[in-house]
Amino acid sequence: MKIAVLGGDGYCGWATALYLSKKGHEVAIVDNFVRRLWDHELGAQTLTPIRPLSDRLSAWHRLTGLTIESYVGDITDYEFLSTVIKNFEPEAVVHFAEQRSAPYSMIDRGHAVFTQVNNVVGTLNLLFALRELQPDCHLIKLGTMGEYGTPNIDIEEGYIAIEHNGRKDVLPFPKQPGSFYHLSKVHDSHNIMFACKIWGLRATDLNQGVVYGTITDEVALDEALINRFDYDEVFGTVLNRFCVEAVVGHPLTVYGKGGQRRGFLDIRDTVRCIEIACQNPAARHECRVYNQFTESFSIMDIAGIVQAAAKKINLAVEISHLPDPRVEAEDHYYNAKHSKLIDLGLQPHLLSDAMLDSLLKVAVKYRDRIDTSLILPSVNWRNARNNYRERAKSSPSAKPSASQMKKVGVSSD
Ligand code: NAD
Ligand code: USQ
């Protein structure tokens, strides 16, 4: 198939582009490298030394003989995006190209506005481009389990059968997201559902849980193909962060009680889920929703698992409870369905000792690149402005930049 991977220079997108290319698909990456810019803005860097996209793609070609095309540009620019769709004529578009950090979206007004404009406008542009140029193309959109929040009832896969005052319907599952980022995904979901209904587009909205891991078979081929591994307080996700904390002897940063329960998955399952969605396209007019995670854990479960794995390599790790910088339930009911991708053939890689060992080894290997000042959270949901800039100013590599906000006509507060 001809598959465009929007956001293909990022964490999930890079692993996915290589995996699909290896499977024989014709792949094009679309990215504007804004994720790399956010690292500069925050004075942070990925634990792993990722190469520029052009180097990565040359290495892939040299090692496998396979070619991945690249289109560099911003998908909020309709002219750029429509040119890509017109030239590449994808049969499937996998859309990862969004600002994906909840803390980043909660820094201040400027970052909240930027996140929602970037994400909602990018997706709207894509819907219009597909309608105009490639209406039969299957849109595979990365949503998030966080769209649902943590309701006191079971979470279904996208839709729920409701009986109300004697009448029945199947309706979108209620959404109670926990950040302006997660809200942007809800807005996307509504726009996609509407576009499928009115224009007959076909879409799969994958509500993905928290992804962990960095090594996939393809990435492991050569150091030049290494993927991102974020551990900083803004972009690092919890399991990756705890592994880095364990390696530098920092007490694990459990926010609040740690009873927050989330769906998790291995990055090797992320790429496989995308392949499954490509192989089983939605019908015209259909907007399917799959919950894309394989296991759920509380944050205290994760802390205990990392502590035990670290002990096996003689690292003594403490668990600390920090005041939760987020506004979220710290102890709650959680039972989210996730059978549709399994029914289509997903064989999950469950969180194993081998995976923890591999994550800890990556952290040990790149220990010299760990900046411990990036670990403690400084973005607080209750503040209208956060102090991340003070930290960024004190870091020699920091280049605080508001250029991406200027682009969409807002300024940073
Ligand atoms: P990432 O930040 O590593 O990658 C996103 C990529 O998109 C980056 O390379 C960035 O430069 C690009 N991008 C962003 N805005 C763009 C724009 N306007 N035009 C062109 N390119 C743009 O993020 P990720 O972790 O790979 O996540 C990918 C997607 O998966 C996101 O939509 C995210 O919401 C979703 N997701 C991620 C996780 C996770 O744990 N990482 C979990 C659930 C869902
Ligand atoms: N947490 C801690 N300590 C930490 C970091 C996080 O206790 O050091 C807690 C958070 O408070 C939260 C949970 O761990 O309750 C998950 O936080 P996270 O930062 O690992 O993940 P989250 O903010 O939910 O976002 C990540 C991705 C996002 C994706 C989402 C999937 O960054 O793109 O949408 O996971 S989900 O969580 O299912 O919404």
User: Is 144 labeled as catalytic in the residue annotation?
Assistant: yes
Nearest to 140 by CA among 207, 82, 88: 207
Determine the pLDDT at residue 390. 58
Which ligand 2 atom is at minimum distance from the Cα of 245? Answer: 8
Stated length of the chain? 413
Determine the pLDDT at residue 387. 72
Determine the pLDDT at residue 203. 98
CA-nearest residue for atom 8, ligand 2, is 253
The SS3 assignment for 255 reads strand
Determine the pLDDT at residue 101. 98
Identity at 371, one-letter amino acid code: D
Determine the pLDDT at residue 384. 80
Fold classification of 2-379 is Rossmann fold (3.40.50)
Pocket of ligand 2 (CB under 6 A): 100-102, 144-146, 209-210, 237-238, 241, 253-255, 260, 262-263, 299, 326, 328
DSSP H/E element including 35: helix 34-42
Q: How many angstroms does the Cα of residue 130 sit away from the middle of ligand 2?
A: 31
Nearest to 141 by CA among 292, 348, 343, 294: 292
19, 31, 101, 268, best to mutate for ligand 1 pocket (most atoms within 8 Å of CB): 31
Over residues 75-113, the pLDDT tens digits come to: 999 999 999 999 999 999 999 999 999 999 999 999 999
- Alpha carbon separation from 193 to 21, 30, 147, 151, 338 (Å, rounded): 29, 23, 14, 22, 20
Q: Are 102 and 179 in contact (CB under 8 A)?
A: yes
19, 35, 238, best to mutate for ligand 1 pocket (most atoms within 8 Å of CB): 35
User: Is 185 labeled as catalytic in the residue annotation?
Assistant: yes
Q: What sign has the CA pseudo-torsion 389, 391, 395, 397?
A: negative
Determine the pLDDT at residue 251. 98
Q: Catalytic residue among 123, 144, 150, 204, which?
A: 144
12, 35, 95, 144, best to mutate for ligand 2 pocket (most atoms within 8 Å of CB): 144
Determine the pLDDT at residue 404. 44
Q: Are 48 and 14 in contact (CB under 8 A)?
A: no
Determine the pLDDT at residue 408. 39
Determine the pLDDT at residue 391. 55
Q: Catalytic residue among 11, 181, 231, 290, which?
A: 181
The pTM for the full model equals 0.95
Q: What are the residues facing 291 on neighbouring strands? A: 207
Determine the pLDDT at residue 385. 82
Domain boundaries defined on the chain: 2-379
Mean pLDDT per segment of 10 residues, for the chain of length 413 residues? 98 98 98 98 97 98 98 98 98 98 97 98 98 98 98 98 98 98 98 98 98 96 98 97 98 98 98 98 98 98 97 96 98 98 98 94 97 97 78 42 43 43
Determine the pLDDT at residue 386. 85
